[in-house]
């Protein structure tokens, strides 16, 4: 149910259901596929080459994040090209299928731009998560959003969006996993539409002016305090931090509240911006929240240069 038309200009892949219980992307890609079927039936020309993909159908069917292992960690070169056994986790087999469809990663034939759709239980609004190589520019003045930058130059990129020549994840919250909230769905639908509009403008030769944008660069993650024997968490995100993603966290601000009511405070040296605060899927990854510095980035005619 996904087709690829290779034409001149950048081609784009829009992926939903990489985590099967992050429902905005699941429903949006399903709707886009339905619309595309109607276009095909009516034999109209579609100028932009857009590929729509439901990345983890088995997890989607069970409304779970993954079946055996997190699909969005299966796209390193080693995982994609190393030896694979018959009893390999489902997501490892699936990542190779996706790599064949959208990649191969690192080759000239790879899709130009991969947009991978996600939801979070954290109160993050609309965020675009980028690695250094992404050329996507901000052109959505009426949709408030933030850019998050993960520096993967020191270790290999592992996510689905790294398969394309350029890629990013569109992350929208807060939404419980397994739930579709109409406001979140609409924000994602608008976000994807703006992104496709930008690609069409780019393909038709539009030159985009230079400008500045704020980017949050991840510095570190903080785990919950845990019981040394059971490894169970022994505190919750403090009520003064809960839902306050992207509001500056200063040294000595409240961080956690233990089950006996004690406040644990942030012991870092510099004020940082918290995000992914209380994301459900990160309990098992040992992350209660992530912390970032805010940088202003200048871009000139589509290349990012870090400014400060």
Partner 1 sequence: MSSYSSSARFDEARRVAIFGGTHGNEMSGVTLVNLWVKNGSEIQRKMVDTKPFITNPRAVEKCTRYVDTDLNRAFTPENLSALGEGDLPYEVQRAQEINRIFGPKGSPEAYDVIFDLHNTTSNMGCTLILESSKDYFNLQMMNYIKVTALRSYFCCVNIVLCDWFIAGLEVGPQPQGVLRSNIFEAMRVILKHALDFIELFNEGRTGVEFPTCTVEVFRVLERIDYPRDANGNIIAMVHPNLQDGDWEPLNPGDPMFLTFDGKTLHYQGSGTIYPTFINEAAYYEKQQAFVTTRRETLVASAIRKA
Q: Tell me whether residue 19 is annotated as binding.
A: yes
- Is residue 160 within 8 Å of 72, Cβ to Cβ? yes
Distance CA 277, CA 123 (A): 7
Give the number of other Cβ atoms within 10 Å of residue 228's Cβ: 6
Active-site residue, selected from the candidate residues 171, 262, 270, 284: 171
Q: Is 194 in the site for partner 1 (CB under 8 A)?
A: no
Q: Is 90 in the site for partner 1 (CB under 8 A)?
A: no
Q: Is 58 in the site for partner 1 (CB under 8 A)?
A: no
Q: Tell me whether residue 77 is annotated as binding.
A: no
The CA radius of gyration of the chain, in Å to the nearest whole number, is: 20
- Is residue 288 within 8 Å of 282, Cβ to Cβ? yes
The contact pattern for partner 1, residues 138-167, with x = CB under 8 A and - = no contact, is ------------------------------
Q: Which of 9, 27, 69, 219 binds partner 1 (CB under 8 A)?
A: 27
Q: Is 278 in the site for partner 1 (CB under 8 A)?
A: yes
* E runs forming strands in 110-253: 113-119, 125-130, 146-149, 166-173, 211-222, 235-237
Q: Which of 30, 58, 293, 294 binds partner 1 (CB under 8 A)?
A: 30
Q: Which of 9, 48, 58, 63 binds partner 1 (CB under 8 A)?
A: 63
The nearest distance, CB 236 to partner 1, in angstroms, is 4
Q: Which is nearer to partner 1, 88 or 233 (CB)?
A: 233
Site for partner 1 in 218-257 (CB under 8 A): 232-233, 236-239, 242, 257
Q: Tell me whether residue 7 is annotated as binding.
A: no
Q: What are phi and psi of 148, to 5 degrees?
A: -115, 135
Q: What are phi and psi of 98, to 5 degrees?
A: -65, -35
Buried/exposed 127-147: b ≥16 CB within 10 Å, e otherwise: bbbbbeebbbbbebeeeebbb
Active site residue 45: no
List of residues contacting partner 1 (CB under 8 A): 27-28, 30-31, 63-64, 121, 174-183, 185-186, 232-233, 236-239, 242, 257, 259, 278, 280-281, 283-284
Query: Which residues are designated catalytic?
Result: 171
């Amino acid at each position: 149910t996904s087709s690829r038309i290779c034409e001149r200009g950048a081609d784009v892949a829009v992926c939903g259901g990489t985590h099967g219980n992050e429902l905005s992307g699941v429903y949006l890609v399903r709707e886009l596929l339905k619309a595309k079927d109607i276009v095909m039936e009516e034999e109209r020309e579609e100028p932009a080459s857009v590929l729509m993909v439901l990345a983890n159908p088995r997890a989607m069917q069970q409304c779970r994040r993954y079946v055996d292992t997190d699909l969005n960690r299966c796209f390193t070169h080693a995982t994609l090209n190393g030896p694979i056994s018959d009893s390999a986790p489902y997501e490892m087999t699936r990542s190779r299928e996706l790599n064949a469809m959208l990649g191969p990663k690192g080759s000239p034939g790879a899709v130009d731009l991969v947009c991978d759709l996600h939801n979070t239980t954290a109160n993050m609004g609309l965020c675009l998560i980028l690695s250094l190589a992404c050329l996507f520019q901000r052109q959505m003045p009426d949709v408030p959003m933030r850019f998050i930058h993960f520096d993967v130059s020191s270790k290999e990129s592992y996510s689905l969006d790294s398969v394309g020549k350029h890629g990013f994840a569109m992350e929208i919250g807060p939404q419980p996993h397994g739930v579709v909230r109409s406001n979140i769905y609409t924000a994602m639908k608008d976000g994807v539409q703006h992104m496709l509009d930008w690609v069409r403008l780019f393909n038709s030769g539009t030159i985009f002016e230079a400008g500045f944008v704020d980017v949050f660069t991840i510095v570190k993650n903080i785990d919950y305090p845990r019981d040394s024997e059971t490894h169970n968490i022994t505190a919750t995100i403090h009520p003064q931090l809960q839902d306050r993603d992207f509001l500056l966290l200063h040294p000595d601000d409240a961080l956690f509240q233990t089950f006996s009511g004690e406040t644990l405070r942030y012991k870092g040296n510099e004020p940082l911006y918290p995000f992914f605060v209380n994301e459900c899927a990160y309990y098992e990854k040992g992350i209660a929240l992530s912390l970032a510095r805010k940088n202003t980035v200048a871009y000139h005619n589509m290349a990012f240069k870090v400014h400060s």
